[in-house]
Amino acid sequence: MMDVFFVNVVGFVLIGWIVWYFWLSHSRGVAAATVDGGVQETYIVVKGGYSPDTIEVRAGRPVRLVFNRQEADPCSERVVFDAFGVAADLPTGEDVPVEFTPGAPGEYGFACQMGMLRGRLVVR
């Protein structure tokens, strides 16, 4: 009987961890660096996910996110910023800049075309 009790306790702990890890917690964001001309720039590596996947920028200033896809998996071959109406093809191994200017503050998601890889843009 002890083992049944033990398995169920571990099971619920595991469920709790899944809920917390995937839904409740967020990775800390990386603030975009401001380069010449006031453009906020961040370099993002695409490999199984976006690194970094949470980028903080200021509203009303141009943003340039440079993507470099380091895998051949077709899942990640396109990145889509639905909220800003921009998208880019990411040929393997090439730097691809994506530029836009976020208006209102808020959280905006970006993702691959299928929504498997996800990132967040936090506009302050």
Partner 1 sequence: MAFCSEGCRTAYLAEPERYPVPDDSGSTSAAPGHAIEPQARAGAAPTMTMAPETVHLAIDGMTCASCVASIERSLKSKAGIVDARVNLAAEEATVEFAPDLIEVHELLAAVEAAGYGAAVATDDVEEDAEDAARTRHYRRLLKKFWFAAVVSVPVMYFSYPELFPGIPEKGSTALNLIWGGMAIVTLAVLLWSGSQFFTGAWAALKHRSANMHTLIATGITAAWVYSTVALLFPGFFPEERLRDVFFDVTSVVTALVVLGMALEVRARARTSEALKKLIGLQAKTARVVRGDRELDVPISEVVVGDVVVVRPGEKVPVDGEVLSGASVVDESMVTGEPIPVEKTEGSFVVGATINKTGSFRFRATRVGADTMLAQIIRMVKEAQSSKAPIQRTVDLVAGYFVPAVMILAVLTFMTWYTLGPSPALLYAVITAVTVLVIACPCALGLATPTSLMVGVGKGAENGILIKSGDALETAHKITTVVLDKTGTVTKGEPSLTDVIPLGALSEDAVLRLAASAERGSEHPLGESIVAGALARRLVLSEPSGFEATPGQGIAATVDARRVVLGNLKYMADQGVAAGPAEEVLERFADGGKTPMVVGIDGELAGVVAVADTVKADSIAAVGQLHDLGLEVVMLTGDNHRTARAIAAEVGIDRVLAEVLPEDKAQQVTQLQAEGKVVAMVGDGINDAPALAQANVGLAMGTGTDIAMESGDITLVKGSLTGVVTAIELSKATLRNIRQNLVGAFGYNTLGIPIAAGVLYPFFGVLLSPLIAGAAMAFSSVTVVSNANRLRRWKPSLAREVG
Positions touching partner 1 (CB under 8 A) are 4, 7-8, 11-12, 14-15, 18-19, 21-23, 25-27, 43, 45, 47-51, 53, 68-74, 77-78, 80, 82, 85, 87-89, 91-95, 111, 113-119
Residue showing tokens 């006031």: 38
Q: Which is nearer to partner 1, 61 or 84 (CB)?
A: 84
Find the shortest distance in angstroms from Cβ 123 to partner 1. 19
Closest C-alpha to 111, from 84, 72, 71: 84
Contacts of 48 (CB under 8 A, 6+ apart): 71, 73, 76, 117
Find the shortest distance in angstroms from Cβ 99 to partner 1. 14
Cα separation, 73 vs 57, in Å, equals 29
